[in-house]
């Protein structure tokens, strides 16, 4: 049931963003930010899922088996989790808009980047805690992915936190570049 929830909500996130864009509630800048977040998400969702499928130092394991056979589960996990990532990045942008002074994403501001990083760390930790609590997936412990702590009898590890430390920085500078592109049009 957990996986269907994750997949359906991931797809709904994409659909809702599309409808908001088509109804002019989101402008082209935010629409593109969603897709930047989606493609950034694919940068880790695809390799992590592929490593799991190929059983090469699988970074994660499913506590409850995934209900679909390969390659369907690999594709659905990679795409829907990336939709979630795009939505999470866009929610981070909302926090920037609420907590920082306008104009947004026009030049480097420590406030904007700090909010995206802090939000990224908190949201990633919440995702991992919910996943282990719902018996979804858990990251495996390796020397390159040490355990941070145990929650609900499962490991919470460093790798996802590192991903969500680096990804907001990349996202932020891409957002500034995108904003300058829109300003020059």
pTM of the model: 0.94
Q: How far is CA 112 from CA 60, 84, 167, in A?
A: 31, 21, 14
Q: How confident is the model at residue 68 (pLDDT cuts 50, 70, 90)?
A: confident
**155, 138 in Cβ contact below 8 A?**
yes
pLDDT at res. 185: 61
- For residue range 90-136, what is the model confidence (pLDDT) as tens digits? 999 999 999 999 999 999 999 999 999 999 999 999 999 999 999 88
Average pLDDT, the chain: 93
Exposed, middle or buried by CB within 10 Å (0-12, 13-18, 19+), for 139?
A: buried
Residue with tokens 């590192």, as numbered in its chain? 162
Q: What is the mean pLDDT of residues 73-93?
A: 94
Q: How confident is the model at residue 45 (pLDDT cuts 50, 70, 90)?
A: very high
């Amino acid at each position: 049931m957990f996986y269907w929830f994750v997949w359906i909500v991931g797809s709904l996130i994409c659909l809702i963003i599309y409808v908001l864009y088509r109804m002019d509630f989101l402008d082209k800048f935010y629409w593109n930010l969603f897709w930047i977040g989606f493609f950034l998400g694919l940068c880790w969702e695809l390799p992590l899922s592929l490593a799991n499928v190929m059983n090469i130092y699988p970074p994660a394991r499913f506590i409850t088996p995934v209900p679909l056979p390969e390659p369907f589960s690999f594709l659905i996990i990679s795409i829907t989790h990336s939709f979630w990532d795009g939505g999470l990045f866009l929610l981070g942008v909302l926090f920037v808009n609420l907590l920082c002074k306008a104009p947004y994403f026009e030049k480097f501001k420590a406030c904007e980047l700090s909010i995206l990083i802090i939000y990224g760390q908190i949201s990633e930790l919440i995702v991992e805690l919910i996943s282990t609590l719902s018996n979804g997936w858990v990251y495996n412990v390796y020397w390159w992915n040490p355990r941070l702590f145990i929650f609900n009898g499962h490991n919470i590890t460093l790798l996802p936190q590192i991903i969500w430390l680096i990804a907001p920085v990349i996202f932020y500078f891409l957002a500034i570049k995108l904003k300058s592109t829109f300003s020059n049009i």
